[in-house]
Structure 1
Amino acid sequence: MEDLGKSMQQTMNRRNWNKKFAEMVQQSLQDPDVQAFLNAHKAEMTPETLDRSAAKIYEYVLEKNKLAHGEPTFAPGYAPKLVMDQHLIDVTYVPTTELQEKRAVQTLKNRVQRINMPKDIADASLLSYDPTGRSNALQAANQFFMAYVNDPKTFHPGLYLTGPFGVGKTYLLGALANALAEKGFRTTLLHFPTFAVEMKNAIKDNNVQAKIDRVKKAPILMLDDIGAGTVSAWVRDEVLGIILQYRMQEQLPTFFSSNETMDELTNFLTISSQGDNEPLKAKRIMERVRYLSRQVVVQGPNRRLENS
C-alpha cells in the first residue's frame, strides 16, 4: 500500500505549501480522536514526534472525514487508525464495521455449499419457518440442531422429509443448514435428480470419482428431491449406493427430502430406468437411508402456489 502521508508531505514541500500545511495540521490536531491519541501516548513521544508525524496526522483526519461523509477513500472498506511506531505517529488501516459484517455474512454463506438449489433457501431461517401443518418437522429439525451442536462427534441421524410438492421440505433443509453454519458447521445441499444427470455427463470427462468423493465426504449432506424423475441402475448402485455406504460407515449426518415416503422410494428404486426389477438392490439402498435418517412427514398447503 502506498505511503499516503509521505506522498502528501513531499508534494507540499515541492509546492511551498508549508504555511498552508501548518494550518491544516493545526486543524487536524484539534480533532477529538487525535487529541485522545496524543494524551494516551504522551510517554512514547519525543520533542520531534509531532513535527515528524505531521503528514500522518493530517492523513488520518482527512481519510476519517472522507469515510464519515461517504466519499471515496484511500483504502475502500478500511478505516484509518493512529498507531505509535518507534516514537513516531503512523497510520494503519483496519476493516470497517461494514466490511467486517460483509465478511461475516460471506463466511456463513461459504459454509453452505448449494448445488443446483433454489436461491430463496440462501436466506432461509428456522425462526421464520411457518409451523402451520409442519410443527413436527420444525421440531425435529430443532432437535437435530441442538443435539448436533452440543455433541458433533456423536452420530446423529438426519431427517427424511417427505410430503407433497411445495410444503416447505427444501426450505426447511436450507434453514437448518444456515443455522448450522452460524455455529461453524459446513453443509452440502444438492438437488439429486440434477446431480444424477451431471454424474452421467462426468463419465466422458473421467470425473466421476472426484464428484462422488466431494459429495460423500461432506460433513453434513442434504439430498433434495430424491425419488423424482427416473434413476438408472448405475446411478442407484454406483453413485447413490457408494455415497450412502461411505456415510453410513463414517456415521456422517445425512438428510433427504422427497415427495415419496420411504416405502414408496423403495418401489421407485426397485425398477431402474431400463425397466429391470431389482428389489434386492433397492432394499440395500433403503437400509442405508433408514440407518442415516428418520422419516418425518411434512404437511400443509402448497406454499409455492400461495406465493405465486
Structure 2
Amino acid sequence: MESLGQLLKQMNGPSFLKKSQAIFEELLHDPIVRELRAERPEMDEDKLRANLPRLYQYVHDQRNCRNCPGLDRCPNDFEGHYSKLEMAEQNGKLEIVERKAPCSLQIAKHNEERIRKRIRSFYVDERALEEGYNEVEIMGKDRLRAPAVSQVFRYIREVKDNGLQPRGLYLFGSFGTGKTFLMSYLLHELAIAGYTGVIVYMPEFMEDLKSMLQDSQKLKETVEVMKNCDLLILDDIGAENLSPWVRDHVLGAILNYRMNRKPTFYTSNYDLASLEKHLSFTSKDGEELYKGQRLMDRISPFVDVVHLHGENQRRNRS
C-alpha cells in the first residue's frame, strides 16, 4: 500500500480532488474504518475527510498489523508501532489527532531488553538465560526435583512479597539436573521484579582472573559489580582450580562484603562439607584447612541448602 502522498503527488486541480474523493469513499467502506467509526461515532465523515492522510495511514498500519510478519520484518513506517486515531481538544474544538503506539511485540521486546539490562553474566552460556521459562514445565520435567523446585519458587515469592533478604540458596546435586537453569530462572524472575543480578561460571572466571592481574582496573570493576549487585550467583563452585590469591583476596573479599548485606547463591556438585575440603586446597600451597573454613564461614551461615535430585537432563537430550 503506497503512501497517500505518493498517490496524489502527480495530481493537481480537478484530478487531485477526484482522486482524493475516490480514496476517501473507498476508505469509508473499508471494514477497518467501519470498526473505527463504530468505536468512535464522534469521528463523523466531515472530520474523517478533513484528516484523509491520517485516516489513510491508520488503515495502512492496521492492515499490516493484522497480517503481522514479525517484528524484524515490520512493514510500518515506524517499526513496531502503528497509527492510532483519537479525539482531542484543539482551539476549543474536538479534532482527530494521530499518535504512534507500540504494538504488543514491541512492548514485549522493550520489556525483555529492560530485564536483560538488569542481568550480567560472566562466562555463562547465554542460552541458559534466554530459554523460555514455564513454571508448569519446570516442575513437571522431572518429578524427582519437585521439592527443590518448590523451594526455589518459594524463595522467589518471598522476595517479591517482602523484599530482598541477606540469605541466599545453596543448590547442589548431580551433573545435569538443572541447577544452572533453576538459578537462571530465579535471576530472570527477580529481574522482572526490578532486582539486578550477576551470574558467574566459576571455572572459567577463575582462569580469567589470572589475566586480570595485568589489568587492575578491569579486575576492580568486575569485583565491584559482583559485590554490589542485588543477586550474585556463583555457578558450579567447586569445579574451579583455586590459587591462594584468588581464594583469599578475590572470592573472600566479595563474600565478606556481601554477607549480611545481599544474598549470594551457589550451584555445585558438592555438598557443603565437600566444598569446604575443596576450598581448603590450592594448587600452590596444598591443603590449608583453616583458610577453607574461613571462607565457608562466609557461605554456610548465609544460605539455605537445597538438594536437587533428578536425572541427567543433558544425557536425556543426547
1:101 matched to 2:108:
yes
Q: Is the 8 A contact 1:126 1:138 kept in 2?
A: no
1:12 shift after superposition:
5.4
In the alignment, what sits opposite 2:136? 127
Give unmatched runs, 5+ long, in structure 2: 70-74
SS in 2 for 1:40: coil
In the alignment, what sits opposite 2:287? 277
In the alignment, what sits opposite 1:75? 78
Matches within 5 A, 1:121-270: 121-123=129-131, 124-129=133-138, 130-153=141-164, 155-206=165-216, 207-250=218-261, 252-270=262-280
Amino acid of the residue matched to residue 293 of structure 1? Answer: V
Amino acid of the residue matched to residue 287 of structure 1? Answer: D
Matches within 5 A, 1:2-13: 7=5, 11=9, 13=11
Q: Is the 8 A contact 1:226 1:256 kept in 2?
A: yes
Amino acid of the residue matched to residue 51 of structure 2? Answer: S
Q: Is the 8 A contact 1:8 1:55 kept in 2?
A: no
CA gap 1:8/1:29 in 2 versus in 1, 3 angstroms: farther
1:9 shift after superposition:
8.6
Give unmatched runs, 5+ long, in structure 1: none
In the alignment, what sits opposite 2:57? 59
Q: What CA deviation, in whole Å up to 9, does each residue of 1:219-269 have, x standing for no partner?
A: 01111011113111111011111110111142x111101112211111111
For the aligned residues, what is the CA RMSD? 2.7
CA gap 1:34/1:266 in 2 versus in 1, 3 angstroms: closer
Identity over aligned pairs, percent: 26
Amino acid of the residue matched to residue 57 of structure 1? Answer: L
SS in 2 for 1:301: coil
1:38 shift after superposition:
5.8
SS in 2 for 1:17: helix
1:187 shift after superposition:
2.5
Moved more, 210-219 or 267-276: 267-276
1:94 shift after superposition:
0.8
1:116 matched to 2:116:
no
Amino acid of the residue matched to residue 113 of structure 1? Answer: R
* Cα distance in 2 between the residues matched to 1:89 and 1:148: 46
Q: Is the 8 A contact 2:84 2:101 kept in 1?
A: yes
Q: Is the 8 A contact 2:24 2:49 kept in 1?
A: no
Q: Is the 8 A contact 2:8 2:19 kept in 1?
A: no
Aligned length: 298
Q: Is the 8 A contact 2:58 2:82 kept in 1?
A: no
Moved more, 210-219 or 159-168: 159-168
In the alignment, what sits opposite 2:37? 35
Moved more, 67-76 or 169-178: 67-76
Q: Is the 8 A contact 2:58 2:85 kept in 1?
A: yes
1:173 shift after superposition:
1.1
SS in 2 for 1:288: coil
Q: Is the 8 A contact 2:142 2:311 kept in 1?
A: no
**TM-score in terms of structure 2 length:** 0.82
